[in-house]
Structure 1
Amino acid sequence: MLKYPKPQQNGNNKKPAFNIYWMYAIILLSLFALFYFQDASQTKEVDWTAFEKAALAGDLKKVMVLSEAGIAEGFVTDEGAKKHKFDTSDDFDGDKKIKTIIPSTDKIQDKIDSWNATLSAEGKPTITVTYEKGSDLMKLFWYFGPILLLVIFMVFMSKRMTGGSGGGGIFNVGKSRATVFDKNNGTPVTFKDVAGLAEAKVEIEEIVEFLKNPQRYTELGAKIPKGALLVGPPGTGKTLLAKAVAGEANVPFLSMSGSDFVEMFVGVGAARVRDLFKQAKEKAPCIVFIDEIDAVGRARGKNPNMGSNDERENTLNQMLTEMDGFGSNNGVIILAATNRADMLDKALLRPGRFDRQIYVDLPELTDRMEIFNVHLRRIKVNSKLDVEQLARQTQGFSGADIANVCNEAALIAARNNKKTVDWNDFMAAIDRIVGGLEKRSRIITDEEKFSIATHEAGHATISWMTQYGNPLVKVTIVPRGRALGAAWYAPEARQIIPTQALLDTMCGLLGGRAAEDLFTGQVGTGASDDLEKCTKIARSLVLVYGMSDRLPNLNYNDSTGQEYGFTKPYSDETAKIIDEEVKRIVNEQYERAKDILRKYSAEHNRIRDLLVEKEVIFHADVEVILGPRKWKSRTDEIIEINKKEEEKRHELEMSDKKDTSEDDTPPPFSKG
């Protein structure tokens, strides 16, 4: 069982993480304070003469002197409020004040004493005096504090939206978002961690070697390619190969995704391209890696008014200019990765920009063995595990698929409380990834079980009896994922597929539906996926490969997606012929499947009955019923290996039983 070390925590560097709700709380408290401390009084500004006149008339009951501000506020009586026309309704119960600027703060007390002497002589109430040293700064804060906090909040949100953690906010939106790897901040991935991809690594290693030792090439007058494009299906290791370059090269490595150039603001993409190459020139020699470049490098439309994105095209134009413009980019090498090279603009692929296109295909047998060995380093596997057989059982798997197989096998072994991961765990993992999770709890009636067994037995019989049928591994009627049953094959790797191989594949796909029609008298909905695949192959025969009798040597497919647009490259009459040819090819293979099943009906029924009984049967079980295959090919090696693996697994199970038995007495031999 894998144990991962706990992350180390440094208690001296603990900092409270910023929470956006703090800002909300501060704004709410400010608004509450503004409401609570709001001055509910009525205030009118008057000159000093009017203020003194009101004091001598007995209209003021209290005077508050703000000495530092040089202001005096007089609280008027009810009679004074009527004279100065204040709101005297019952709805308002706040203070009523008049405010003035004091001519001299030093003599204000003498002035108030003279007012009180005059009021006392006339028999009127005197004025109470209070002094405060405060100013209007606090009032200004309560008035303008919430607005200031709102401005701070908007600036903070603009930084978060534009990713401007380095300052600048919205003015930093045109800056490049490239991640820089250098000697101090490198990646732990090296070429040793990249299994397979021998040809791709040779070209990539040459680029790294040029950056490390350029004199070796320049002495002979050679020039390193300015750019290399990694092309291949998803999961084959394009990005991993670029990470290995970053780990191996002793030069700065700038990594960026193609979608990072695209932004809602006009001109941002081109600005980021300029900034990226500006950084690269400053750090030269260096490597720039753009992942998923098809997000920005897609072919420009011929009609700008029909579905063309001007901002994306401006970004692409700027990239083309930077890669091979009037300026010099000496020492800057561009790496890019995509799985849609056919969608890229032709100007991007010409020599001088991306000089090399490095194809990263699905791994071959030896490559898959190397990939398994890399991922099995961290897994406790059984010492008897045969990695070569695992590689043979994963034909067509990518590197990411193989990594997933290893992880799933470890999870399955841990679920079953095993100490090591063995062959059965890997087989279960492959079944889990290809077909989905086993669903034995799904309720299936006996009639449905019989129909599913008939269907899968039809697939197995047809694939066995056709020349180019894929080698059978096992057949199951246990539901997995969305499938109620499945036949597992080990497809033969072919570089060129002959016409008969495509027809045999179609015949095998239609074998399940044909078996239902022949042996149950009715067809069900379980063959929808088979019919979809079969129809696609038939249309490819006619439209792509030019293998139709009535439309030979014609290809109506545009692999670049730029030629035909909304129109079809053939007439309505040709479209009718295409439909007729597709229908003819499918019907011919369906009748052919029926003929084969009629000839081997007894064998088919035995396979069906065995499936109903055991639910899962293997290659050896089918060989006992149908006999050895008539056609010899490279797949015979795989079949023989499967046989040996079955025997090896049986011996392993017997040895495990022997080890767990209480006594050492061998079991008696029986002729079975």
Structure 2
Amino acid sequence: MAKDNNSTPNKPKFNTWWIYGLIAILLIGFQFFGSGNFTNTKKASISEVQEYLRNGDISKIQAIINTHQAKIFLTEEALAKDVHKDVSGQPFSLSATASPQYIVNYGDQAIFEQTINKIKEDNELTGTVVTFESESNLLTDFIITLLPFVLIIGIWLYLMRRMSGGAGGGAGGQIFNIGKSKAKLFDEKTDTRTSFKDVAGLEGAKEEIEEIVEFLKNPDKYTSLGGKIPKGALLVGPPGTGKTLLAKAVAGEAKVPFFSLSGSDFVEMFVGVGASRVRDLFKQAKDKSPAIIFIDEIDAIGRARGKSNFTGSNDERENTLNQLLTEMDGFGTNTNVIVLAATNRADVLDKALMRAGRFDRQIYVDLPDIRERKEIFEVHLRPIKTSETLDVDFLAKQTPGFSGADIANVCNEAALIAARKEKKAVSKQDFLDAVDRIVGGLEKKNKIITPREKKTIAYHEAGHATVSWMLEHAAPLVKVTIVPRGQSLGAAWYLPEERLIVRPDQMKDEMCATLGGRAAEKVIFDEISTGALSDLEKVTKQARAMVTIYGLNDEIGNLTYYDSSGQNEYGFSKPYSEQTALTIDKEISKLIEEQYKRAIELLSNNKDKLTELAERLLEKEVIFKDDLEKIFGKRPFEKDQLEAEAELEEKSKQEQLQSETESETESEPEK
């Protein structure tokens, strides 16, 4: 039977700390054995020593001044007496000097000396020798002298190792490697692999990213015609739209080394470290070329130089940016190294970083539309146990303006809600509750609200619902509730139309619907409250945008004071005069008041329906679109919208059918 090689015990590995421990043991041993330990020396009292001195048993008294101890040495005749038999044996000591038989602690030196001399005179003891001397230990003195320096050096080494990331962190954990890059090299065999199939929607962005991967896989296909491989691509878009996910897909799909790091990894407390890490990063990528470098949140080091530099505190960041610019397109050109970067603040980036030759392509990753949201839902619904009746198209329609990260959160929240309710599968209602939870916050049914406050909230929300129902361009209502959620006491959910451009009439209708809550309070109670704070904030921003940004005001004209570079916010002056500022304020106030009067007029003409809707809301606490149809009837302009949606859906089906027919024709073999 073969022996198992693993059964033999592993020998302990040699450690340098063993040598230090052995040296410490030897030092302690020499100190312990050489100081008179393991001898027959005993402690005695002053009275016993005086008695031994009177009897003539003491040959020598050696008083140590710095320790206030006296060593007592007996005569040969005294060692033969029975009273001293405990100390008469042969002592064991590594010291060359003889060991005393007794040790006595004395207090004041003058009194002790005077007592000994008096006993000697009275008993005429001329043979007893009394000496007073200081005693020192060279080894102890050496250790005490060396100890402070050892502590200072040890603390300094410890701090240096901590600042460089510890023994196992950072670039090797040593202070001399602090300038090394912290980029993680993606390993497709061990790391979680994300493919382009996991990225739903974003067709345009995926197409460009896939082309970049193709550049590195088959460079001859492009360079044979005289083209050059692009140096970099910048992913720009709102948070949560999938920029980092696209980079992960590139790491999973590309068969080339993929270096991933964040913009903050270049920032360090030491001067020059950021530039050194940039050099080291590109050196590693060039050694492994073709390669891809991904820098997430590049605005940490890529901000425009010379902006708001009042204190000079960003010199180190500028040095890092300068080195990055040189590495991307300088004299030392890095061939077959493509840089991917992601940011949601492209307006603050330096212009030199954005030019062609560095980031040749800027890929905008926008919020998904209804078709892309459906694809994202299908990706995130794969691991979730859903009911068979779940309509993904409905979910996509219920989440306008949601990013990919928001949709992932909705799916996860719906699964948690279903599990909380002890369900076997996640249903449509769980997803609606998840959307409400994310948009409005957690329900607070136990919040104490007086009946009068509750009635005010009900009429406020009913006012929103009534005005939005009667205006053509206002968003259609989905649900109204007076159950407190988050910081709001009530809420109304709408399904806004996804528009690429917005006209003044549409914006005015939305403003009027937003002011419907305060208008309802004025119509019913003839007084207003503070409950319309968020409505007023929204309306004021919208009116200011119409006047100062979009040029939709006749008085101001076709002017805009919007600064797309984002640098206007650092200035201390407005881009218009005081007279223009006064005109802007008047026009904003005029626009809001017109829509407020319009909302009051609408609610006054439909006061009975408003009251009926508010009473139903007080009774049920939550009402839906069907309840409004029973009170107001169907919206007169909803038919046109439905026809437009049906026409658009039919057109998209025809295009899809045509593309499938063309692909089948291309795949047929030649006869």
**Match of 1:645?**
none
**Match of 2:127?**
123
What fraction of aligned residue pairs are identical, expressed as a percent? Answer: 58
* 158, 166, 169: which one aligns with 2:160: 158
2:376 touches 2:404 (CA, 8 Å); kept in 1? yes
**Match of 1:393?**
398
Matching residue's letter, 2:599: A
- Quote the Cα distance in structure 1 between the aligned partners of 2:304 and 2:580: 29
1:146-168 Cα offsets, whole Å, 9 max, x none, are 75466445423432333253545
1:582-611 Cα offsets, whole Å, 9 max, x none, are 111111111111111112222211111111
2:62 touches 2:72 (CA, 8 Å); kept in 1? no
**Match of 2:664?**
none
Q: How far is 1:308 from its partner?
A: 6.5
**Match of 1:600?**
606
1:313 aligns with 2:318: yes
**Match of 1:417?**
422
Trace 1:69-108 onto structure 2 (pairs within 5 A): 88=109
1:400-422 Cα offsets, whole Å, 9 max, x none, are 11111111111111111111111
Alpha-carbon distance change, 59 to 513 in structure 1, aligned in 2, over 3 angstroms = closer
- Quote the Cα distance in structure 1 between the aligned partners of 2:144 and 2:94: 18
Report how many residues are paired: 555
1:258 touches 1:293 (CA, 8 Å); kept in 2? yes
SS in structure 1 opposite 2:368? Answer: coil
- Quote the Cα distance in structure 2 between the aligned partners of 1:636 and 1:89: 116
2:164 touches 2:173 (CA, 8 Å); kept in 1? no
With the length of structure 2 as denominator, give the TM-score of the two structures.
Answer: 0.75
Matching residue's letter, 2:438: I
**Match of 2:562?**
557
1:521 aligns with 2:526: yes
Matching residue's letter, 2:291: C
- Quote the Cα distance in structure 2 between the aligned partners of 1:90 and 1:634: 120
Q: How far is 1:617 from its partner?
A: 0.8
**Match of 2:233?**
228
1:210 aligns with 2:215: yes
**Match of 1:583?**
589
**Pairwise CA RMSD:** 3.8
- Quote the Cα distance in structure 2 between the aligned partners of 1:495 and 1:126: 110
- Quote the Cα distance in structure 2 between the aligned partners of 1:90 and 1:248: 94
- Quote the Cα distance in structure 2 between the aligned partners of 1:501 and 1:159: 63
1:432 aligns with 2:437: yes
**Match of 1:611?**
617
Alpha-carbon distance change, 273 to 216 in structure 1, aligned in 2, over 3 angstroms = same
Trace 1:261-280 onto structure 2 (pairs within 5 A): 261-280=266-285
Matching residue's letter, 2:221: R
1:260 aligns with 2:262: no
Structure 1 unpaired stretches of 5+:
1-11, 16-25, 42-54, 92-120, 128-134, 641-672
Matching residue's letter, 1:383: E
Alpha-carbon distance change, 59 to 234 in structure 1, aligned in 2, over 3 angstroms = closer
1:615-664 Cα offsets, whole Å, 9 max, x none, are 11111111221122222477537999xxxxxxxxxxxxxxxxxxxxxxxx
SS in structure 1 opposite 2:628? Answer: helix
**Match of 1:402?**
407
1:492 touches 1:635 (CA, 8 Å); kept in 2? no
Alpha-carbon distance change, 638 to 488 in structure 1, aligned in 2, over 3 angstroms = farther
Q: How far is 1:261 from its partner?
A: 1.5
Q: How far is 1:264 from its partner?
A: 2.5
Alpha-carbon distance change, 412 to 303 in structure 1, aligned in 2, over 3 angstroms = closer
1:392 touches 1:638 (CA, 8 Å); kept in 2? no
**Match of 2:255?**
250
**Match of 2:134?**
none
1:343 touches 1:560 (CA, 8 Å); kept in 2? yes
**Match of 1:107?**
none
**Match of 1:625?**
631
Higher-Rg structure is 2
1:93-146 Cα offsets, whole Å, 9 max, x none, are xxxxxxxxxxxxxxxxxxxxxxxxxxxx9733699xxxxxxx966875676467
Matching residue's letter, 1:198: E
Matching residue's letter, 2:600: K
**Match of 2:459?**
454
1:548 aligns with 2:550: no
* 181, 184, 196: which one aligns with 2:186: 181
Worse-matched range after superposition: 621-630 or 339-348: 621-630
1:506-558 Cα offsets, whole Å, 9 max, x none, are 11111100110111111111100000010001111111111112111111121
Alpha-carbon distance change, 68 to 329 in structure 1, aligned in 2, over 3 angstroms = farther
2:303 touches 2:349 (CA, 8 Å); kept in 1? yes
* 482, 486, 496: which one aligns with 2:487: 482
**Match of 1:370?**
375
1:335-384 Cα offsets, whole Å, 9 max, x none, are 00011111111111110011111111111122111111111111111011
Worse-matched range after superposition: 376-385 or 145-154: 145-154
SS in structure 1 opposite 2:377? Answer: helix
SS in structure 2 opposite 1:160? Answer: helix
1:453 touches 1:608 (CA, 8 Å); kept in 2? yes
Alpha-carbon distance change, 513 to 184 in structure 1, aligned in 2, over 3 angstroms = same
Q: How far is 1:301 from its partner?
A: 2.4
Alpha-carbon distance change, 388 to 266 in structure 1, aligned in 2, over 3 angstroms = same
With the length of structure 1 as denominator, give the TM-score of the two structures.
Answer: 0.75
1:58 touches 1:124 (CA, 8 Å); kept in 2? no
- Quote the Cα distance in structure 1 between the aligned partners of 2:63 and 2:533: 98
- Quote the Cα distance in structure 2 between the aligned partners of 1:177 and 1:63: 70
SS in structure 1 opposite 2:453? Answer: helix
Matching residue's letter, 1:163: G
**Match of 1:567?**
573
- Quote the Cα distance in structure 2 between the aligned partners of 1:260 and 1:268: 10
- Quote the Cα distance in structure 2 between the aligned partners of 1:258 and 1:275: 15
Alpha-carbon distance change, 74 to 425 in structure 1, aligned in 2, over 3 angstroms = same
- Quote the Cα distance in structure 2 between the aligned partners of 1:368 and 1:78: 93
**Match of 2:16?**
none
Q: How far is 1:251 from its partner?
A: 1.0
2:188 touches 2:252 (CA, 8 Å); kept in 1? no
SS in structure 2 opposite 1:420? Answer: coil
Matching residue's letter, 1:161: M
**Match of 2:511?**
506
1:350 aligns with 2:355: yes
